[in-house]
Amino acid sequence: MFQDPPIPSPTADYVKVAGCIGLYRHTLTGRYYGMKKVHGKRKERSLDTADRKIAERRFREWVSNIEKVNCEVEKSTLRQLHQKYIASNQGKSESNMCVIRGVVRDFEERWPHGLDFQVRNVRTSHLEEWLGFHERRLKNSSYNRYAGVLKQIYELAVKDRIIAESPFKQVTTRWKRPQKPVRLVPTVGELEAIVMNIRSQRWSPYAEATADFIEFVGLAGLGQAEAASLTWGDVDFVQNCMSIRRHKTDVHFTVPIYPHLKPLMDRLRGNVGLKATPTTQVFKIKDGNKALTAACERLGLPHFTQRNLRECLIMRLWRSGLDKKLIAKWQGHRDGGALILSTYTEVFGSDDGEYESLQLAKLAPPANIVPLDDRQAMGNTSASAA
């Protein structure tokens, strides 16, 4: 269906078109075909039209594209292209590679024509059909990631001269405006309730360890990966700080042992005792997401993630009046607080009536200051009395 129909050697059924070398017309159907020799090999193409002018234009475009394609790789399959694309991105971060592998795997599982389908036969309509299937189930930002990977795959095919032009260029919906995220930030009280609920699961052998892990993430404001890799050699009780490596960016930064975090760290240090070595892991578990989800369901709370617990600490520091640059430094950011302002502060106070009331109270004048109008009225009264 997608292969160009072969053109037999010119016979009585095919006649040359005068004035256009390489253009032929079928005498029975009236349809036009193109033929051209490239590096000693004959290339043939149906031009899918019976109109002379259209046929000439398509023939010129086809001849022009032939020169852009490498004959040795033009029959490459999707399987080969995907392998080449993944190999060319090996230097990217692990998070980016997870996205790339996920999209490619999803494409291969749901592509109806098989991976031995030749790249040159992929049409724009194929890509639109595949994206249309995912459009119904993906958020706009996820859709953009899927479309972005497709775009890069076929740009690579053009660079390697497998095809002359990317079929993705004609895709109608190549990008969608990302939706504004709904951020759920637990309060300090909700964090404490979650930790207590996890700790109270006496039938779970990991309840205590998981509760400590979740409590640390919320009080220290660190991600799951950073907490899981923390060793006692990273904790300095003399300088009252911790040395952290952000796994996503491989950036090293220092986090203080906050006053509200110190009791937990002292208790954990006391529990491990003399067994602690610089390489000993602080926590026995690597991920507390399953226990966190279950606790939120039992308490009737929103589905908080471990990232939301980290945001709880950022909100706590922000409301305490700490400088945004210092908060950003303790989060391993190098933008001077720009991300804190643009991403997190939009929700700090939006879900807390008490906090809004406290902020509005700052606008009220101090009690020991008499407004100007009242002072004028008092002066007029004194003058009348005199």
Taking residues 36-42, what's their average pLDDT? 77
Cα separation, 100 vs 74, in Å, equals 24
Taking residues 298-314, what's their average pLDDT? 90
Interval 132-183: pLDDT, tens: 888 888 888 889 999 999 999 999 999 988 888 899 999 998 888 887 766 7
**DSSP-assigned states of every residue in 276-293:** --TTSBS-S-S--HHHHH
Classify domain 78-170 at the CATH class level.
mainly alpha
Cα separation, 47 vs 57, in Å, equals 10
Interval 52-90: pLDDT, tens: 899 889 888 878 777 777 777 888 999 999 999 999 998
The whole-number pLDDT of residue 2 equals 41
pTM (whole model) above 0.75: no
- Exposed e or buried b per residue across 178-197, where buried means at least 16 C-beta atoms within 10 angstroms of its C-beta: eeeeeebbbeeebbebbbeb
Indicate where the chain has its CATH 1.10.150.130 domain(s): 78-170
**Residue 44 DSSP symbol:** E
Cα separation, 141 vs 180, in Å, equals 10
Region of 264 on the Ramachandran plot (φ > 0 left; ψ -120 to 50 alpha; else beta): alpha
Indicate where the chain has its CATH 1.10.443.10 domain(s): 188-361
From the CB of residue 335, how many other CB atoms can be counted at a distance below 10 Å? Answer: 11
Superfamily of domain 188-361: Intergrase catalytic core (1.10.443.10)
The whole-number pLDDT of residue 180 equals 73
CA dihedral 301→305→308→313, nearest 10 degrees, is 90
Token pair listed for 232 = 């006692």
The whole-number pLDDT of residue 1 equals 39
CA dihedral 67→72→74→79, nearest 10 degrees, is -150
DSSP-derived pairing of the beta strands 23-26 and 14-16: antiparallel
